[in-house]
Chains A and B, each alone.
Chain A
Amino acid sequence: MQKLTTPFIVLSAGMLLVAPWIINAAPYESTMGLVQKVFYFHFPVAILFLVSAIICGVNSARVLFWKNERADGWAVAAAELGFVLGALTLVTGPLWARKAWGVWWVWDARLTMSLVLFLTFAAYMLLRRYGGPGSDRLGAGMALFGMVNVPFIYVSVNVWRTLHPMTSVVPTLPTDMGIPLWFCFAAFTMLFVALLNLRATLEHQRTRLEALYLAQDEA
């Protein structure tokens, strides 16, 4: 995994540089026009937002139930990335909604639960920062509760009648819109993997350093 970080960052940076041209080349959506192009960023960051919640939750479960201390580094990394991606989702979404629906925000199930998940990440980070000793266990428990939201957010648009498009929209996209979408998705995913890797490595090194300090104090 470690060796992939640099090529992934370079590649995703290049792809995100080219992305505006590719998005520009995609056809205009018939009813929403230009503003629909937010979608090419909104979809990837929203999906990765959910993915980071799952990574954070699964690694927290590994910490709690299998006593895997290294998994904690991955959970912290995923939580911080989830916070950033959640913020991006909650910014790009309303930008699009203002034009498409006429309002910035509606309190439907998906939007509400996405906001809740974002707040959960924020609370998790506050806890990890200010909780002091013992907060890692508690954070892990909290991440499990946060992960429960993910399937709920994903299926909510299919269950409730709402303004947000359903999950069936993306697979049925025409090719000339699908290409820029998956291009952006690939770019964001590589960036996500690289950042996750870097942050987890940093966290592992920090824990190791702390353990070394402790060992030195005891000696």
Chain B
Amino acid sequence: MMRAFFRVAWQVMRKDMTVEIRSREILLTTLLFAVSVVLIFSFALVREGRAPDDVAAGILWVAISFSGTLAMGRTFERERYNDTLRALILAPADRPAIYVGKLLGLLLLMLLVEIVLVPMVGLLFAAPIFAYPGMLLMLLVSGTLGFAAVGTLFAAMLVRVRSRDTLLPVLLYPITVPVMIGGVRGTAALFQAVPDEPMARFWIGLLLFWDAIFVTLALWTFEPVMTE
């Protein structure tokens, strides 16, 4: 039972990744968008080669959430555009497994973008990204997971709604504020002049707590909302 579940999830993710590797559409557009967001921040905030203190964490997470929204809108848009959404739903598989597959695909894409994003923020805003690599990684993964968990569900639900492109961020941001706060505060604790390890650990714990809530709720609601 459990193995079948994860096999379906794996297949859905592999399908998405195969499409993505062939076209590279979402990855490249999302990446360019994320880079432009960071650049706009650096044009706005860096004065005479000096970035203001303690802004790096905020900018990093703003770039992650903006670019993530772009990516999650596209993953389901592609299904709708190619008329494959019905086939996906009709497949004799657990709906939650399809959700998990989609979520893993999005998570992978967002983490790939972050591989470029984090060094860039470190470079432009003088953030010590290599001081605590393990904790930074934990913060990035747990924060991105919470954000992507809600985003995948909402993007899936919005596929059949009229003004989906404007509504996705409007619905997504209020709900994911706790994750954003956790990510920004935790990362800021690591980036500040005197890093505060216990603080970062506390925020990682809180992020994992929200991840658990969001993933559970999304698994519950995905089935009924995707029924026609």
Contact = CB atoms under 8 A, between A and B. Distances in A.
Nearest to A135: B161
Contact of A116 (B154, B174, B214): B174
B62 interface: no
Contact of A112 (B150, B158, B177, B225): B177
Contact of B213 (A112, A113, A134, A148): A148
A103 interface: no
Interface string A40-59: 00000000000000000000
Contacts of B221: 64, 140-141, 144
Nearest to B216: A148
Contacts of A145: 150, 175, 214, 217
Given A126-B170, A130-B162, A131-B163, A148 B217 contact: yes
Interface residues of B, number: 25
Given A116-B178, A141-B153, A145-B175, A130 B217 contact: no
Nearest to B159: A134
Q: Please report whether the interface of chain A is mostly helix, strand, loop or mixed according to DSSP.
A: helix
Contacts of B224: 64-65, 137
A141 B225 contact: yes
Contacts of B161: 127, 131-135, 138
B80 interface: no
A138 B225 contact: yes
Given A64-B221, A133-B160, A113 B178 contact: yes
B167 A126 contact: yes
Given A113-B178, A141-B221, A148-B213, A127 B171 contact: yes
A142 interface: yes
14 contacts: A65-B220, A65-B224, A112-B177, A112-B181, A123-B175, A130-B162, A131-B162, A131-B163, A134-B160, A138-B161, A141-B221, A142-B154, A148-B213, A148-B217
Given A119-B177, A144-B217, 6 more contacts: A65-B224, A116-B174, A122-B174, A123-B174, A133-B161, A140-B221
